[in-house]
C-alpha cells in the first residue's frame, strides 16, 4: 500500500475500513491450541488413573503427579519460547481481559489443589475443579463469542454437580475426563478448525488494499 492516493472515493474508503477491521478482527480470535493441549493432558491423566484403579500398576495419583511435573516443564518451556520468539504483536481488548482473568483462574485452581491435599480430599476436590473449568469455559465462550464453549460450559457444570454425589474416586475421574472432553477438547478442535479456515480466507482476501 502506498499513500499516493489521496482522492479516495467513498466506496474505496469504506473498502479500506472494512478490510482493515476484518484483518484486525482476526487477532481477536483464538486458535484453540491451549484447550487442545491442556484438554488432552487432563483427559489422559483422568483416563489413565481410571485404568490404573483397575490394573493397579502404579500408585493411585501417579498420573496426576506426572501431570503436575509436565505442567511445570511446559510452563518453563513456554516462557523461554515467548522470550525468544520475535513476532509482530498486537494487544486486543479481548485478549487483555482474558489474560487478566486467566490469573484469577490459575489462583483459584491452585487454592482448590491445596484444598484437595489438606482438607476436602480428591473426590469433592475434583468436582470443584470441574466446576471451575465450567466457569472458565463460559468466560472464554463469552469473550470470544464462541458458542461451542458457551454450550459446553453447562455440560461441564452438570458433570461437576454429578461429581459431588459419587462416592468413588474412579467415578470422579470418569466425570472429570468427560468434562474435559466436552469443555476443552471438542470446543478446542472446533476453534482450531475455525481459526485455520478464517486464516485461509483472510490470506485470500488480503490483496493489499
Partner 1 sequence: MFKELDPILHSQLRLAVMSLLISVKEAEFTFIKEKTNATAGNLSVQVQKLKDAGYIDVTKQFKDNYPLTTCKITKAGVNAFEDYVQVLQDYLKVSKKNA
Residues of this chain that bind partner 1 (CB under 8 A): 1-6, 8, 10-14, 16-17, 19-21, 23-25, 27-28, 86, 88-93, 96, 206, 208-209
Closer by beta carbon to partner 1, 26 or else 66:
26
Residue with cell 462416592: 167
Give the integer Cα–Cα distance in Å for 154 and 152.
5
Whole-number Å distance between alpha carbons of 187 and 39:
10
If one counts every other C-beta atom within 10 angstroms of the C-beta of residue 71, the result is 13
**In terms of CB distance, is 13 or 106 closer to partner 1?**
13
Alpha-carbon distances of 129 from 8, 70, 72, 112, 136, rounded to whole Å = 56, 19, 19, 7, 11
Shortest Cβ 9–partner 1 spacing (Å): 9
Are 6 and 16 contacting, i.e. CB atoms less than 8 angstroms apart? Answer: no
Q: Tell me whether residue 88 or residue 119 sits nearer to partner 1 (CB atom).
A: 88
User: Min. distance of Cβ 97 from partner 1 in angstroms?
Assistant: 10
The 8-class DSSP code of residue 60 comes to: T
Q: How far is the CB of 15 from partner 1 (least distance, A)?
A: 10
| Nearer CB in complex with partner 1: 81/89 | 89
Q: Which residue has the cell 466436552?
A: 182
Q: How far is the CB of 146 from partner 1 (least distance, A)?
A: 18
Angle CA 131–49–121, to nearest 5: 50
Q: How far is the CB of 200 from partner 1 (least distance, A)?
A: 17
Least distance (Å) between residue 145 CB and partner 1: 14
Q: Is the CB of 19 or the CB of 170 nearer to partner 1? A: 19
The set of cell numbers assigned to 82 is 515467548
Comparing CB distances to partner 1, the nearer of 117 and 205 is 205
Q: Which of 46, 15, 24, 30 is nearest to 182 (CA)?
A: 46
Amino acid at each position: 500500500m502506498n499513500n499516493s492516493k489521496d482522492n479516495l472515493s467513498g466506496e474505496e474508503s469504506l473498502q479500506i475500513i472494512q478490510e482493515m477491521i476484518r484483518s484486525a478482527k482476526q487477532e481477536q480470535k483464538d486458535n484453540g491450541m491451549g484447550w487442545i493441549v491442556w484438554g488432552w493432558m487432563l483427559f489422559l491423566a483422568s483416563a489413565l488413573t481410571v485404568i490404573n484403579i483397575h490394573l493397579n500398576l502404579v500408585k493411585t495419583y501417579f498420573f496426576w503427579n506426572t501431570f503436575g511435573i509436565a505442567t511445570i516443564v511446559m510452563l518453563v518451556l513456554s516462557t523461554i519460547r515467548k522470550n525468544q520468539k520475535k513476532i509482530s504483536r498486537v494487544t486486543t481488548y479481548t485478549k487483555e481481559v482474558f489474560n487478566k482473568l486467566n490469573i484469577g483462574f490459575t489462583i483459584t485452581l491452585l487454592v482448590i489443589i491445596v484444598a484437595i491435599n489438606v482438607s476436602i480430599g480428591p473426590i469433592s476436590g475434583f468436582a470443584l475443579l470441574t466446576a471451575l473449568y465450567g466457569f472458565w469455559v463460559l468466560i472464554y465462550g463469552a469473550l470470544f463469542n464462541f458458542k461451542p464453549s458457551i454450550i459446553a460450559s453447562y455440560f461441564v457444570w452438570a458433570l461437576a454437580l454429578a461429581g459431588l454425589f459419587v462416592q468413588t474416586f474412579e467415578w470422579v475421574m470418569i466425570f472429570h475426563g468427560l468434562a474435559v472432553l466436552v469443555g476443552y477438547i471438542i470446543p478446542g478442535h472446533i476453534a482450531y478448525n475455525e481459526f485455520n479456515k478464517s486464516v485461509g480466507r483472510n490470506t485470500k482476501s488480503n490483496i493489499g488494499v
